[in-house]
């Protein structure tokens, strides 16, 4: 096999689990290639027991689906496995994506067990795209969710994404930076992410810069002379309070102020961040540099940010790296892709997975997802999953009930509803209006504002209800009883 550099790959069609293809061959052999399947992509739990997650990765999912095509090299690779029929290889050679795809828009708060992507189309096609959809949506939704937690913990202070070198590979670095920006971080150290997506790029110096000069002051002076209008100095290379901050103040007074510039900031990357930032603030203020910001980095996450602020740390900006870009506390977003129905001969047959583990029991049929909002406040009240052909009359009260505790019911009035699943592909053609990252970011901020603060709580957040319509609940209950007999 001739090796190819990974970064030269543009056709990601073969990024699929091998069994997707073996099943496809089997479907073709048994006359099921034209069966119409409906699959749901959903997740079961919010990472870190949070109250919500953030949808991300839609634009990359679209890129993948638009480019689906099997090359002759792909077909030869499969032929050499001695498993696939020539009939199936011809099917792949003439492959043309023909599915309908709906998804929740990027930046939307999402909740467990509701479909966030729905795929409907020829069974072998809908089956084959499972892997790439999951890896794309799982990864970016994970990082967006973690980033949202960190941004909220900072209480309005900017978060800088510094995780490029600690990400699980360069795709994770670039797309992780993208997801983090959607969720509210102020910028990234990852230059290629800035170039590709227009995310603000940020960065000043490393300890090696300071060490490369004969003295700390010389290194600061050289940097200030090079970037007089963007000088942020790393002050913890030798001794933060005895050397770093005094040399930063000297640089401001001897180099920057005489030329009409100001010291933008200092960065502390080690030590007791509360104490060091408090003492540095005193020193900077006494030197007339009250406008100089203090940035802190060093293995920071939302829990440490909250503790630092409680302790009175004088930190204006947080640089967050490995714990954001890897979602270190819980590095897996548990999205799954499950068959919900299959149509044969024009007749729709609902399908559901039934398991000894109740958490793995799925909801059957082709479905829709709706979000209820209070008409007066604009607050999100609950989400509702219905059968695809159900209609909700907003002029009438609607009874919501907990699908697990059906006696818990609430009648909502004076509400508006919004369908969450938007069409992305119809019969294989992209119909989605592509959105730039600033629009997605602004949308995310607006949508988060509709959630009650209790849902966004870090500890024991209020459960946001995702309910089933009566018709869907009845169908699910019927299938459970039918298979339980």
Q: What is the per-residue pLDDT for 395?
A: 95
pLDDT band at 485 (very low <50, low <70, confident <90, very high): low
Asked if pLDDT for residue 9 goes beyond 80, the answer is: no
Q: What is the per-residue pLDDT for 332?
A: 95
The Cα 394–Cα 416 span in angstroms is 6
pLDDT band at 348 (very low <50, low <70, confident <90, very high): very high
Contacts of 73 by beta carbon, 8 Å cutoff, 6+ apart = none
pLDDT band at 6 (very low <50, low <70, confident <90, very high): very low
Q: For the chain, give the mean pLDDT.
A: 95
The Cα 6–Cα 9 span in angstroms is 6
Asked if 351 and 339 touch (Cβ cutoff 8 Å), the reply is: yes
Task: For 28-74, write each residue's pLDDT tens digit.
Answer: 999 999 999 999 999 999 999 999 999 999 999 999 999 999 999 99
% of the chain beyond a pLDDT of 90: 92
HSE of 363, CA atoms in CB hemisphere, 13 A? 30
Specify the domain boundaries for CATH 3.20.20.70 within the chain: 157-325
Task: For 378-420, write each residue's pLDDT tens digit.
Answer: 999 999 999 999 999 999 999 999 888 899 999 999 999 999 9
Best CATH choice for the domain 157-325 from the list 3.30.450.20, 3.40.190.10, 3.20.20.70, 3.60.20.40: 3.20.20.70
Asked if 431 and 425 touch (Cβ cutoff 8 Å), the reply is: yes
Max Cα distance, the chain (Å): 86
Average pLDDT (275-286) is 98
**Which of 144, 224, 215, 212 lies closest to 184, judged by CA?**
144
pLDDT band at 125 (very low <50, low <70, confident <90, very high): very high
Q: Which pTM value belongs to this model?
A: 0.95
Asked if pLDDT for residue 260 goes beyond 70, the answer is: yes
Q: What is the per-residue pLDDT for 356?
A: 82
The Cα 156–Cα 149 span in angstroms is 12
The phi-psi region of residue 149 (left if phi > 0; otherwise alpha if psi is between -120 and 50; otherwise beta) is: alpha
Task: For 195-228, write each residue's pLDDT tens digit.
Answer: 999 999 998 899 999 999 999 999 999 999 999 9
Best CATH choice for the domain 6-143+331-484 from the list 3.40.30.10, 3.30.230.10, 3.20.140.10, 3.30.70.1560: 3.20.140.10
> Strands 159-161, 429-430: parallel, antiparallel or unpaired by DSSP?
unpaired
DSSP 299-332: S--HHHHHHHHHTT---SEEEE-HHHHTTTTS--
**Helices H / strands E in the chain, number of each:** 16, 21
Specify the domain boundaries for CATH 3.20.140.10 within the chain: 6-143+331-484
pLDDT band at 4 (very low <50, low <70, confident <90, very high): very low
Average pLDDT (423-434) is 97
% of the chain beyond a pLDDT of 70: 98
State the Cα angle at 213 between 227 and 268, rounded to 5°. 65
């Amino acid at each position: 096999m001739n090796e190819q550099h990974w970064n030269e790959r543009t056709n990601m069609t073969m990024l699929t689990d091998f069994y997707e293809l073996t099943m496809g061959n089997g479907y073709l052999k048994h006359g099921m290639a034209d069966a119409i399947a409906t699959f749901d992509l959903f997740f079961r739990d919010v990472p870190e027991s949070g109250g919500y997650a953030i949808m991300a990765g839609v634009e990359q999912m679209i890129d993948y689906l638009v480019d689906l095509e099997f090359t002759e090299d792909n077909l030869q690779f499969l032929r050499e496995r001695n498993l696939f029929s020539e009939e199936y290889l011809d099917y792949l050679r003439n492959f043309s994506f023909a599915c309908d795809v709906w998804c929740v828009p990027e930046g939307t708060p999402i909740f467990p067990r509701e479909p966030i992507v729905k795929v409907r189309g020829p069974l072998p096609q809908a089956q084959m795209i499972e892997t790439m959809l999951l890896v794309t949506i799982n990864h970016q939704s994970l990082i967006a969710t973690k980033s949202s937690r960190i941004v909220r913990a900072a209480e309005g202070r900017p978060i800088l994404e510094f995780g490029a070198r600690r990400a699980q590979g360069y795709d994770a670095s670039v797309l992780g930076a993208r997801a983090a920006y959607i969720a509210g971080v102020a910028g990234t150290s990852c230059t290629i992410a800035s170039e590709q997506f227009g995310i603000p790029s940020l960065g000043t110096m490393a300890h090696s810069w300071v060490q490369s000069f004969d003295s700390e002051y010389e290194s600061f002076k050289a940097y200030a002379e090079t970037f007089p209008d963007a000088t942020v100095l790393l002050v913890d290379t030798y001794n933060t309070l005895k050397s770093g901050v005094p040399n930063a103040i000297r640089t401001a007074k001897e180099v920057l102020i005489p030329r009409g510039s100001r010291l933008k900031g200092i960065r502390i990357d080690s030590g007791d961040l509360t104490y060091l930032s408090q003492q540095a603030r005193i020193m900077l203020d006494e030197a007339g540099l009250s406008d100089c910001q203090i940035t802190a980095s060093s293995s920071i996450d939302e829990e440490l940010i909250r503790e630092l602020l409680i302790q009175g740390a004088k930190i204006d900006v947080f640089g967050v790296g490995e714990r954001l870009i890897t979602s270190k506390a819980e590095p897996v977003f548990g999205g799954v892709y499950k068959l919900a129905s299959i149509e044969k001969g024009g007749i729709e047959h609902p399908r559901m997975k039934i398991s000894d583990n109740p958490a793995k029991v799925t909801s059957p049929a082709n479905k829709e997802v709706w979000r209820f909002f209070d008409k007066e406040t604009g607050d999100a009240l609950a989400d509702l999953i219905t059968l695809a052909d159900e209609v909700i009359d907003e002029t009438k009260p609607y009874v919501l009930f907990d699908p697990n505790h059906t006696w818990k019911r609430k009648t909502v009035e004076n509400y508006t509803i919004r369908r969450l699943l938007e069409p992305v592909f119809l019969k294989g053609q992209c119909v989605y209006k592509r959105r730039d990252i600033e629009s997605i970011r602004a949308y995310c901020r607006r949508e988060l504002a509709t959630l009650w603060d209790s849902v966004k709580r870090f500890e024991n957040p209020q459960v946001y209800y995702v309910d089933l319509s009566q018709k869907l609940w009845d169908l699910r209950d019927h299938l459970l009883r039918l298979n339980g007999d």
